Amino acid sequence: MLKVGIIGTGVIFDLNVLGYLNRTDVEITCLCNRTIEKAKQKVKKFSLNKNIPIYSDYKEMLDNEDLDIVEILLPHHLHNVATVYAAQNEIKGISVQKPMALTLEEADKMIEACKQSGSILSIYENFIFAPHIMKAKELLDSDYIGDPSSIRIKTAIGAKGGWEIPESAEKWRKDPKKIGGAHGGSPILLDNGWHAFSLAWWFFNEEIEKVFVWTDKYQGLDAPAYVMFKYKQNKEHLVPQYGNMEFALLPEMNFSDSKYYPVDEFIEIIASRGIMKINQGTSIGNKMSESEIFPPIVIIRDGKVETYRDFEKDWKYSFINATNYFIEAVKNNKNPILSGEQARSILKFNLSAIKSVEKGKEIFLD
């Protein structure tokens, strides 16, 4: 039985906890939250052991509890210190929320600490474990539409709907030093955008060579934003691979039927023999999911249009699958997706995009 401790019981806890609840090989044995009463509310909400120890200091929890896995659900600027401390306590599996860290130096400290202790470091990225995203990746890897040459990821950001974000969480996201540096920080590129940067890396399985980014400013957001990038050609491709991301604002769009964030993603991949369109990410399960014109996956290939619809249409399954995958990686002592090294590559891509905004020019990642 693997013993699990969770640090942070905010909004995202409600999804991260799901993968642990119905397994017989793991048990949540302790929680930590700065406000203990909030943690008690989550104990009741998810029917955890009513006598479970609750700490207000994660260092005290890690020192006192015998744990196999720790989930770190803290703000970005705390990931580095908490991960290093967990590794020093020889926790076997350490799962950290995205983004990995604020700097490459912090990421290197996290990776090195886990190497020294033998801890398995995983940066939590639920998007790649959404059932329809997993199917899309399977089709790409099987050469179903040929050699991919370009990817376009559009993230539509609304202002209404979804769950309520506590003011305390919004407050630290307005501090540039805690959200990617730069002149005004980067709440879009570093925080929300991490998922898109991860998908761009994961779908093509290639490192990024260079990136150029333009952003504007809207009510404290570095948006709308446009990101253009080119992949390294570590493998031979029919067409040099490139991509772009757009973070578009919908200030009057109401995602009232979304259970989560008022955001959605649309992805288009062009390959040598066909085109793939992936509809929805965060808001999968809303009314649009059932629309005939928005099936989760559309493929245009060999003069035909194919659709893939038979998926569990709820974003929560991406979290459940991600957690189950991590548990199995810890049990079998395997490198997870995203490992510390893989997440560092994505962080480098992400921070280079922010640097491009500052410098007003394309940035080479080497």
Q: What is 51-64 written as a DSSP string?
A: T--EES-HHHHHHH
Q: How far apart, in whole angstroms, are the C-alpha atoms of residue 185 and residue 172?
A: 11
> CB–CB of 283/315 below 8 Å?
yes
Q: What is the pLDDT of residue 184?
A: 47
Least confident of 67-76, 93-102, 118-127, 213-222: 213-222
Q: What is the pLDDT of residue 218?
A: 85
End-to-end CA distance of the chain: 43
Query: How many residues make up the chain in this entry?
Result: 366
The tokens describing 135, both together, are: 């199917």
> CB–CB of 286/257 below 8 Å?
yes
> CB–CB of 92/330 below 8 Å?
yes
Average pLDDT in the chain:
92
Kindly report the number of other CB atoms within 10 A of residue 233's CB atom. Answer: 12
Q: What is the pLDDT of residue 182?
A: 46
Residue range 26-60, pLDDT digits in tens? 999 999 999 999 999 999 999 999 999 999 999 99
Q: How far apart, in whole angstroms, are the C-alpha atoms of residue 168 and residue 176?
A: 15
> CB–CB of 146/271 below 8 Å?
yes
The tokens describing 243, both together, are: 């991509």
Please tell me whether the peptide bond between 338 and the residue prior to it is cis, using omega within 30 degrees of 0. Answer: yes
Q: How far apart, in whole angstroms, are the C-alpha atoms of residue 214 and residue 218?
A: 13
Q: What is the pLDDT of residue 293?
A: 86
Mean pLDDT of 104-131: 97
Q: Please name each of the domains of the chain with its CATH number.
A: 2-124+319-338 (3.40.50.720), 127-313+350-358 (3.30.360.10)
Write the DSSP assignment of 107-165 as a string of letters: HHHHHHHHHHHTPEEEE--GGGGSHHHHHHHHHHHTTTT-SEEEEEEEEEEEEEESPPP
What angle do helix axes 194-204 and 340-359 make, rounded to 10 degrees? 120
Mean pLDDT of 267-284: 94
Q: How far apart, in whole angstroms, are the C-alpha atoms of residue 89 and residue 118?
A: 11
Q: Pseudo-torsion of CA 266, 268, 269, 273, nearest 10°?
A: 140
Rounded percentage of the chain residues whose pLDDT exceeds 70? 94
Residue range 156-199, pLDDT digits in tens? 988 777 777 666 655 555 555 655 544 445 888 988 899 999 99
Q: What is the pLDDT of residue 180?
A: 55
Residue range 237-262, pLDDT digits in tens? 889 999 999 999 988 887 777 788 88
Q: How far apart, in whole angstroms, are the C-alpha atoms of residue 36 and residue 16?
A: 19
